[in-house]
């Protein structure tokens, strides 16, 4: 009896110790989690400050909405949503801005810098550039008529990145469907979520060099559509000439992107791959038929993307200048 009693007491002490350790871990984890009210006390006017600046920028140039959304996407797909895309190259550091997907095409950093400056004036050394990117992306979509979603906050900024990380993680416009599914799956997205996020191409423009091969070499493209684009995108030259990704409503966030795919009017090879006799055809059809379904799924996928490997707690830093570490 004595031995059994002694064992029970020891077991109880061990169980209590384990519970205490678990409790400490839970507290630590919860304190590092993202939250929609993360800045409610430390920077209560943050969201209105960002929204005003984004609305102004998009009003001045509608394309800026797509550019800010793209910045967030290209940030999150490379080592998580940590504002690494904003880091400028230095003498001993090469960042992401000259990667294949970013070189001569990243836009909106000036808008982010303006917002950061405004935020620093009212909440010094408090709000991360990564969080500003996440909120600006949401506000850009809303400004162009798209859905809204709750942006959780509390990300911190990275202190480093690599060119190779950007080259290896951002999906290329030349990818086939299997490559697209794989690229997004590597980040935890389903094929359905990949299609929803691709719907971001309902806004924005692309350079001739990214779709020239499709215009002149592919069969699954509407002939008149191809012809209409060839004058602005010749077989040689004009690499940086722009065409809207959605020629119907290029500055409105809607579901016309999917309608275009049904008519073989996807601008990029990767766009048309979503509706080309493959496994995602049915999802493209569904979003073409039901814009509310697309809006809902896009918003949910954006929340998920914003949660990709954030730096929280004491990891990273709050950059004072988004283009360089402190």
Binding residues: 75, 78, 80, 82, 84, 96, 171, 201-202, 246, 249, 254
* Residue in this structure with the two tokens 């004009």, named with its chain if needed: 238
Q: Which residues are annotated as a binding site for heme b?
A: 201
∠ CA 118-120-124, nearest 5°, is 155
What is the rounded distance in angstroms from the CA atom of residue 99 to the CA atom of residue 103? Answer: 6
Q: Which residues are annotated as a binding site for substrate?
A: 171
Tokens (6 digits) for 68: 């800010």
DSSP letter string, 125-189: TTS-HHHHHHHHHHHHHHHTT-------B--BB-S---HHHHHHHSPPTT--HHHHHHHHHTTT-
∠ CA 211-67-160, nearest 5°, is 100
DSSP 8-class letter at 95: -
Sequence-distant (≥ 6) Cβ neighbours of residue 271 within 8 angstroms: 173, 198, 201, 245, 257, 261
Cβ atoms 158, 79 nearer than 8 A: yes
Q: Which residues are annotated as a binding site for Ca(2+)?
A: 75, 78, 80, 82, 84, 96, 202, 246, 249, 254
- Annotated catalytic sites, by residue? 74
Q: Taking the C-alpha atoms of 80, 153, 253 and 45 in order, what is their torsion angle to the nearest 10 degrees? A: -140
What is the rounded distance in angstroms from the CA atom of residue 119 to the CA atom of residue 53? Answer: 11
Buried b (16+ CB within 10 A) or exposed e, 262-278: eebbbbbbbbbbbbbeb
Which sign, positive or negative, has the C-alpha torsion 116, 117, 118, 122? Answer: positive
């Amino acid at each position: 009896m004595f031995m059994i009693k002694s064992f029970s007491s020891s077991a109880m002490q061990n169980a209590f110790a384990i519970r205490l350790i678990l409790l400490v871990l839970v507290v630590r984890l919860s304190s590092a989690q993202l939250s929609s009210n993360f800045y409610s006390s430390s920077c209560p006017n943050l969201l209105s400050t960002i929204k005003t600046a984004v609305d102004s920028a998009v009003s001045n140039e509608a394309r800026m909405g797509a550019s800010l959304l793209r910045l967030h996407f290209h940030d999150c797909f490379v080592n998580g949503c940590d504002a690494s895309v904003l880091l400028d190259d230095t003498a001993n550091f090469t960042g992401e801005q000259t990667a294949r997907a970013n070189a001569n095409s990243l836009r909106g950093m000036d808008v982010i810098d303006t917002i950061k400056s405004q935020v620093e004036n009212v909440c010094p050394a408090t709000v991360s550039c990564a969080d500003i990117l996440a909120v600006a992306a949401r506000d850009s979509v809303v400004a162009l008529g798209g859905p809204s979603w709750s942006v959780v906050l509390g990300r911190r900024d990275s202190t480093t990145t690599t060119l190779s990380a950007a080259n290896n993680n951002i999906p290329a416009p030349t990818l086939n469907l299997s490559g697209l599914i794989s690229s997004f799956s590597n980040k935890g997205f389903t094929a359905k979520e990949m299609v929803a996020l691709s719907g971001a191409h309902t806004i924005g423009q692309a350079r001739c060099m990214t779709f020239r091969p499709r215009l002149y070499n592919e069969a699954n493209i509407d002939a008149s559509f191809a012809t209409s684009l060839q004058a602005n995108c010749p077989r040689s030259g004009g690499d940086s000439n722009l065409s809207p990704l959605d020629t119907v409503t290029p500055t409105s966030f809607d579901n016309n992107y999917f309608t275009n795919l049904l008519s073989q009017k996807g601008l990029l090879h990767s766009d048309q791959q979503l509706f080309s006799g493959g496994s995602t055809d049915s999802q493209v059809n569904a979003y073409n038929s039901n814009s509310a379904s697309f809006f809902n799924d896009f918003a949910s996928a954006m929340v998920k993307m914003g949660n990709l490997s954030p730096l929280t707690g004491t990891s990273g830093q709050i950059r004072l200048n988004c283009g360089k570490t402190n």
